[in-house]
Amino acid sequence: FLRAFADYAVARPEELIKVPAHIPSEQALLEPLKCISTILRTAPPEFGDHVLVMGCGFMGLLVVAGLVGRGLASLIAVDLQAERLALAHDFGATHTLNSADPDFLEQVAEITHGHGTDVVFEVAGHPVAVELAAKTMRRGRGRYALAGWHGKPGTYTLRNWTTNGTIILSAHPAHSLDPMDDAQRAMDGLARGVFPMERLITHRFALQNIQSAFETMAGGTNGYIKGIITLG
């Protein structure tokens, strides 16, 4: 009754947010979008910053979209999949890089004029990505926002952080100081067209095929970014 797949849900009135009439119901995916609001407010970039987004899945692409228009010197999107990097470019990334390239760090150094990135948003959820992104940071003032979901233990080299004086911030949505404010900001952004949700819904499944939906989501294959279940 209180969880997913229930026919009805119970909520306090103060925890409800009105969806504007012009937003299609399949795009009103507010819970993931609320997380983006929390992430962006954890480490807001300054004018002229070089910002790197590590991981261009559903969450990472929305982070890219939310960073556009902030006067950044560069907005670097990083992933392993070319189709996701193409989406990141469409969403406003100034540079798209494949983290598997042997000269990845040299590419970042060239973009940032040798200074390194000022802000990193880690949305990949993989130890290798966490380590690699840490090596891109500017010495003495970089802010590193950990936002990816890490379901398994990982091993990390602390000197990548300590010798650079990196400020490590938890951007996990569970640490939101005002979840409803974050949610309202997310809805306002969606209403203004900040987040191109229609580009991110790559798969649709009928309710009777829900097992296939779970398998596709877990595998991340066939260009999957976000799927929805249709009831009609």
Structural domain includes residue 177: no
116 part of a folded domain: yes
Local confidence band at 7 (pLDDT 50, 70, 90 cut-offs): confident
Helices (H), the chain: 30-42, 58-67, 82-91, 104-111, 127-134, 159-162, 179-191, 197-200, 210-219
Whether the predicted pLDDT of 29 surpasses 70: no
CA nearest to 89, candidates 106, 70, 111, 68:
68
Same domain, 154 and 229: no
Q: Is residue 110 part of a domain?
A: yes
Among the listed ranges 28-37, 131-140, 211-220, 222-231, which one has the minimum average pLDDT value? 28-37
Report yes or no on 95 lying in a domain: yes
pLDDT tens per residue across span 170-221: 888 777 778 888 889 989 999 998 998 888 888 999 989 989 998 998 887 7
95 - beta bridge partners?
76
Please state which of the ranges 32-41, 81-90, 97-106, 155-164 shows the lowest mean pLDDT: 155-164
The CATH number covering residue 104 comes to: 3.40.50.720
- DSSP, collapsed to helix, strand or coil, labels residue 104 as helix
> In terms of domains, do 55 and 110 share one?
yes
| pLDDT tens figures, 46-77 | 999 999 999 999 999 999 999 999 999 999 99
Same-domain status, 118 and 201: no
Give the number of other CB atoms < 10 A from CB of residue 139.
11
Element (H, E) at 76: strand 74-79
Domain assignment of residue 110, given as a range = 31-172
Residues 168 and 229 grouped into a single domain: no
Segment 73-97 shows an average pLDDT of: 97
- Sort 39 into a burial class: Cβ within 10 Å, 0-12 / 13-18 / 19+: buried
Mean residue pLDDT across the chain: 89
Model confidence band, residue 97 (pLDDT cutoffs 50, 70, 90): very high
Count of domains in the chain? 2
**Residue 186, in any domain of the structure:** no
Q: Do residues 145 and 200 share a domain? A: no
- Same domain? 146 vs 221: no
144 and 223, same domain (yes or no)? no
Q: Do 50 and 107 sit in the same domain of this protein?
A: yes
Q: Which residues contact 122 (CB under 8 A, 6 or more apart)?
A: 54, 55, 129, 130, 133, 144, 145, 146, 147, 148
Domain assignment of residue 181, yes or no: no
